[in-house]
Amino acid sequence: MQKEIAKLLKKAVDELGENVEIKEEEIESKIEIPNSENGDYAFPCFSLAGKIKIPPVDMALQIREKIKKIPDAIKDIQTKGPYINFFLDRITLAKNIILEIKKQGDNFGKSAIKNPKKTMVEFPSPNTNKPLHLGHLKNMSIGESVSRILEFSGEKVIRANLNNDRGIHICKSMLAYKKFGKNKKPSKKLKSDHLVGDFYVLFAQKAKQNPKLENEAHEMLRKWEAGDSEILALAKKMNKWALDGQKQTYEKFGIHHDREYFESEIYSKGKEIVLDGVKKRIFQQQEDGSVKINLEQEGLGEKYLLRPDGTSLYITQDLYLAKLKLDEFDLDSSIYITGSEQEYHFKVLFSLLKKLGFNFSEQLHHLSYGMVNIPEGKMKSREGTVVDADDLIEKIQDLVKKELTKREKILKKELEKRSSTIALATIKYSLLKTDIKKTMVFNPKESIKFEGNTGPYLLYSYARANSILKKSKNKKSNKKNLTELEPHEIELIKKFSEFKKIITNSYKNLNPSLIANYSYQLAQTFNEFYHSCPVIGSENEDFRISLVESFRIILKNSLYLLGIDVLEKM
C-alpha cells in the first residue's frame, strides 16, 4: 500500500509546478505508521517544504488539494499540521494484501531485477589455528543472512571464504605440535580442528614460561616462506586437520561457499604488489628490510606491509585478493564481513589500493559488526576461554532436548531433528536480533526460552499457525460477508503490509536485525490476534484462516532471510 500512496503523492507533488525533485522511492521511505486516530499511514512534509521554502503545514495543504481521485482502497485523506494522513478501506486493503501474499507465497517481498548486480560476500574467513568459535558463528549468521537478503532483493551472490592458513598464528600451533605433539592425531573423541586449537593454546602457555618460543615461531614462518620442505609438510597436515574440522561445522550450521581462497596460495602475489610499490616509491623500504607506508595524512598512521625478515602480513595478501576477486567474477561489489576490530585494517587496505592505482576501491565494502561476549566476559583464543562453536551448538541442543521431552514423548530420531533445528534457530536469532554494529552478550539459557524475544518463540508461533491450518482442513468453514474488522485483525494486516519496506531497509543498510525484530513483532501481533479472535468455528472463519495462512507465509520468508529453517510441529 505504501507504494500506491507514494505514487499518489508523487503525482500531486509534480502537479504543484514547483520543480521539486523527489523520487517515488524517497517518498515511500518517509511514509510512517501513525497512531490509529491519525489514520493508517502518514506522510510528513518537512523535507518537501524545505525544498521550496514554505511552512510544512502549507505544503501538506497544497499537496492534499492536488489529490483529486482517491483509490478504492483509501477511504479518506486528511491533513493534520505538517502531516498528510491516509485512512484506508481496511476490508479492501485486507483482501488485496492477503490475495497478493497467497498468490506469491515464498516469493512475497522478493524483487525481480533485469540486470542484477553481482556481489561477493566473504565470510567468516577464519585462521586455521583453532576451531570455529562463537564469534565465527555471529560472522556466519550475518554473512548468510546478508547473502539471502541480497538475493531476495534481486542480486546474484557469490559466497566466498578466505582461509587464513599461513602466518605467525598458524606457526604457533605448528611449533607447539612439533615440540610437544608426540605425533598425536585426531580421533572420534577429538575433532581434528580442536586438536589444532589445543596446540595453539598450549603454545601460549609454554611461551609464558619460555619467551624464546616467539622467536622460534617467527623463524618457522621465515622458513615456510623460503620453501622449507619439512615446514611445508607440517603446515599441509595441520591445515588439513583444521579445514576438515571447520568444514564439518559449516555443514552443521547450514553454511556453504561458492569459492574458497587460501592465503597460502596468494600471499606471494601480494608480496609482488608490495615490492612493485617499493619500486614506484609508493611504499618505503627501511634499513632493516621491512616495508611500510606513511598514511598520517589519511589519519591512519604508519602501516608495515613486510617484516624485516621479508615475511608477509595479512594486509599483504589482501592487496592481491581484492584484485583477484573482481577479475575472477567481474563483480559489481565485494563485501567483507568481519568484526569491528578490523575497521582500521580495511581503511588501510582501501587507501593502499587507491594509492596503487587500482580503480575498483568504490566496489569494496567492509561490513563490520560488534563483538559478541559471554556473561563471563570477553573471549580470548590464546587463553582457551573462547566458546567453541561445536561445543555451543551441542550444549544448546542438549538444553532444547530437555525442554522438548518435558512437554511430550518424542521418538529419538524426531527428537534429534527437531532439537537441531531449534538449537540453530536459537543461536542464529540471538546473534542477529541485536543491531550488528553493537556489542552483545550471548546468554545460552535465556536464548532457548519458548516465550519472549527468542528463536524458539518464533518457531513455536509458526508451528501454531501450521496447526490451525491443519485443523481447518477437517472442518466445514462458516462463510459470511465481511463487514468489519476486529482491532487485532487490523494490527496483523498492518504488520503484513510492513514486510516489503522492512526488506528494502535491511537491504539498503545490510542489517539483518531489522528483519529479526520485525519477525518478533509479527509473531507477537499474531499471537495477540490468536488469543483474542477465535479462528476455527468463528463467523469469519474463512477470512481468519486466510490471515493465519498469510502470517505463516511471511514469517517463513522472514526466517528464511535469517538463515533459519521452520518446523511444522514443535
pLDDT tens for each residue of 64-105: 999 999 988 899 999 999 999 999 988 988 999 999 999 999
Q: What is the pLDDT of residue 184?
A: 96
Residue 293's DSSP bridge partners are 303
Contact 111, 559 (CB under 8 A): no
Contact 193, 246 (CB under 8 A): yes
Q: What is the pLDDT of residue 114?
A: 83
Q: Is 280 exposed, middle or buried (0-12, 13-18, 19+ CB in 10 A)?
A: exposed
Q: Which residues contact 539 (CB under 8 A, 6 or more apart)?
A: 478, 480
Residue 373 pLDDT grade (very low, low, confident, very high; cuts 50, 70, 90): confident
Sequential DSSP letters for 110-134: ----SS--EEEEE----BTTS--BH
Q: Which residues contact 148 (CB under 8 A, 6 or more apart)?
A: 560, 561, 562, 563
Residue 379 pLDDT grade (very low, low, confident, very high; cuts 50, 70, 90): very low
Query: 469-490, pLDDT tens digit by residue?
Result: 999 876 655 566 788 899 999 9
Would the pLDDT of 172 be above 50? yes
Residue 377 pLDDT grade (very low, low, confident, very high; cuts 50, 70, 90): low
Rounded distance between C-alpha atoms, residue 430 and residue 446, angstroms: 9
Percent of the chain beyond pLDDT 70? 97
One-letter amino acid of 228: D
Question: What are the backbone dihedrals phi and psi of residue 440, each rounded to the nearest 5 degrees, phi first?
Answer: -135, 165
Residue 381 pLDDT grade (very low, low, confident, very high; cuts 50, 70, 90): very low
CA-to-CA dists, residue 375 to 379, 393, 397, 455, angstroms: 10, 17, 19, 19
Q: Which residue has the cell 499457525?
A: 465
Query: 181-197, pLDDT tens digit by residue?
Result: 999 999 999 999 999 99
Alpha helices by DSSP H, 105-159: 134-152
Contact 418, 456 (CB under 8 A): no
pTM of the model: 0.90
Q: Are strands 74-80 and 83-88 parallel, antiparallel or unpaired?
A: antiparallel
Contact 225, 312 (CB under 8 A): yes
Q: What is the pLDDT of residue 374?
A: 81
Q: What is the pLDDT of residue 92?
A: 87
Residue 515 pLDDT grade (very low, low, confident, very high; cuts 50, 70, 90): very high
Query: 103-138, pLDDT tens digit by residue?
Result: 999 999 999 888 899 999 999 999 999 999 999 999
Rounded distance between C-alpha atoms, residue 19 and residue 13, angstroms: 9
Q: Which 3 state secondary structure label does DSSP give 78?
A: strand
Q: Are strands 333-339 and 291-295 parallel, antiparallel or unpaired?
A: unpaired
Query: 417-457, pLDDT tens digit by residue?
Result: 999 999 999 999 999 999 999 999 998 888 999 899 999 99
The residue-averaged pLDDT of 153-175 equals 97
Would the pLDDT of 567 be above 70? yes
One-letter amino acid of 562: L
**Dihedral of alpha carbons 46, 49, 53, 57, sign:** negative
Rounded distance between C-alpha atoms, residue 39 and residue 1, angstroms: 13
User: Which helix (H) or strand (E) is 122 found in, with range?
Assistant: strand 118-122
Q: What is the pLDDT of residue 385?
A: 56
Would the pLDDT of 382 be above 50? no
Question: What are the backbone dihedrals phi and psi of residue 373, each rounded to the nearest 5 degrees, phi first?
Answer: -110, 170
How much is the mean pLDDT over the chain?
Answer: 93
Contact 15, 8 (CB under 8 A): no
Residue 372's DSSP bridge partners are 440
Q: What is the pLDDT of residue 476?
A: 59
Residue 378 pLDDT grade (very low, low, confident, very high; cuts 50, 70, 90): low
Contact 46, 53 (CB under 8 A): no
Q: What is the pLDDT of residue 529?
A: 98
